[in-house]
Structure 1
Amino acid sequence: MTAKISLRSVTKTFGALTALDDVSLDIEDGTFLSLVGPSGSGKSTLLDLLGGLAKPTSGEVLIDGKPVTGPGLDRGVVFQQYALFPWRTARANVEFGLEGGTLNKRQRAERAREFLDLVGLSGFEEHLPHELSGGMKQRVAIARSLAYDPDVLLMDEPYAALD
Structure 2
Amino acid sequence: MLTELADTGERKSWSGYQASFWAVLLTFSGAESDRPAPGGPRPPSGAAPMQWSPDAKRRYFDSRHALREEVDTLAARATEDPDQHLAELVRLHRVLTVRSAVYWENRTHLFAERVRSLFDDGVGLARRLSQHDPTDGTRTLARILIDRSTFHTAACEFGPALDDFRQALSCLGEAN
Q: TM-score range by the shorter chain?
A: under 0.3
The answer to which structure has the higher helix fraction is 2
Query: Normalising by the residue count of structure 2, what TM-score does the alignment of the two structures yield?
Result: 0.24
Query: Normalising by the residue count of structure 1, what TM-score does the alignment of the two structures yield?
Result: 0.26
The answer to which structure has the higher strand fraction is 1
